[in-house]
Chains A and B, each alone.
Chain A
Amino acid sequence: MKFEGPIVGENFLTDTRNYPWHRPPDLFDYDEAVSYMLSKIDEQEQIELVFAMLGIDAKVTTVVSTLLLQAISKGKFTIDMAMLIAGPLARYIEIQAKNAGVKYDMGLTNKDRIVLTPTLLKASLGILEQPEEESPEIMAMRKEAGPMEPDQEQIMGLMSRPPEGAVAPPDEQAAMLGQTEEEELEEEAV
């Protein structure tokens, strides 16, 4: 079964048409590849696209990845070469953005990283601090105050059941149901 698969690099030798990135690359020299990409960025449409991407808060690393993938898909250079020229490309975009006064973020610092604090570490390890015990003075004051009244204990939300005996008068209930005096008279007449 294993012998049925393609040999690594076989795509570079085959005569049949295939994807551009499966063929030998057009550029294999570092300087040539960088030069090609810089001239590409200098094109009016391309630089507008780069600035537009930076304008929507895209990071320089994202812009570079996009440009490199475009070139790889056209078979200009290999993925390995793309890795080598990513740095120069990012630096050039940085210079152009500075020159044009465009706000940019290199995207090299990880802002989403959670900062490790002692509290976070304790929580992650399950070592949660116990709440401090009340002081004897507060305990004495509580005793003096006595138990809470039932009304105070039953502080509930708006949608909770009202306490017993707290029923609205019939007029108010009718008003809540949207029944006016006129409607009641009509009902009686019927």
Chain B
Amino acid sequence: MQFNEAVKKSIKNFMAGNMPKSLTEKKEFLMYGPEYFDELEAEILEEPTDSTAAREEEELDEV
């Protein structure tokens, strides 16, 4: 198996929510698991961008 193929396989497994067993057994707490990235995605994508935030602030000031 080539490096690129192994990387692809690893990504596919992670995207399916699977973590290597040996890793999860070895460490009790893993910070960067699939759940972390799900939360991060929700946090980042719901957060308004800088321009939107500035516009909202201006609107509030006008009111």
The docked-state distance in angstroms from the alpha carbon of A68 to that of B21 is 22
Residues of A close to B41: CB separation below 8 A: 95, 98
Which residue on B lies nearest to A90, using beta carbons?
B11
B50 to chain A, nearest CB (A): 12
Contacting B15 at CB < 8 Å: which of A30, A82, A85, A90? A90
Chain B binding surface, main DSSP class: helix
**How many A-B pairs with Cβ below 8 Å?**
71
Q: Which of B16-35 contact A (CB under 8 A)?
A: 20, 23, 27, 30-32, 34
Q: Which of A19-39 contact B (CB under 8 A)?
A: 30-31, 34-35, 38
B45 and A108: CB pair below 8 A?
no
Residues of A close to B54: CB separation below 8 A: none
Number of interface residues of A (CB under 8 A): 29
A71 in the interface, Cβ–Cβ < 8 Å?
A: no
B23 to chain A, nearest CB (A): 6
A65 in the interface, Cβ–Cβ < 8 Å?
A: yes
Interface size class of B (residues with CB under 8 A): 20 to 34
The docked-state distance in angstroms from the alpha carbon of A106 to that of B8 is 9
Given A69-B3, A88-B37, A92-B37: A31 and B11 interface contact (C-beta under 8 Å): no
Residues of B close to A60: CB separation below 8 A: 11
Residues of B close to A86: CB separation below 8 A: 7, 10-11, 14
Contacting B44 at CB < 8 Å: which of A38, A68, A69, A95? A95
A82 to chain B, nearest CB (A): 8
| Those 10 A-B pairs whose CB atoms lie nearest each other, nearest first | A87-B14, A86-B10, A34-B32, A91-B37, A90-B11, A86-B7, A31-B31, A95-B41, A61-B8, A65-B7
8 pairs from A and B in contact (CB 8 Å cutoff): A30-B30, A82-B7, A87-B10, A87-B11, A88-B14, A91-B37, A92-B40, A108-B8
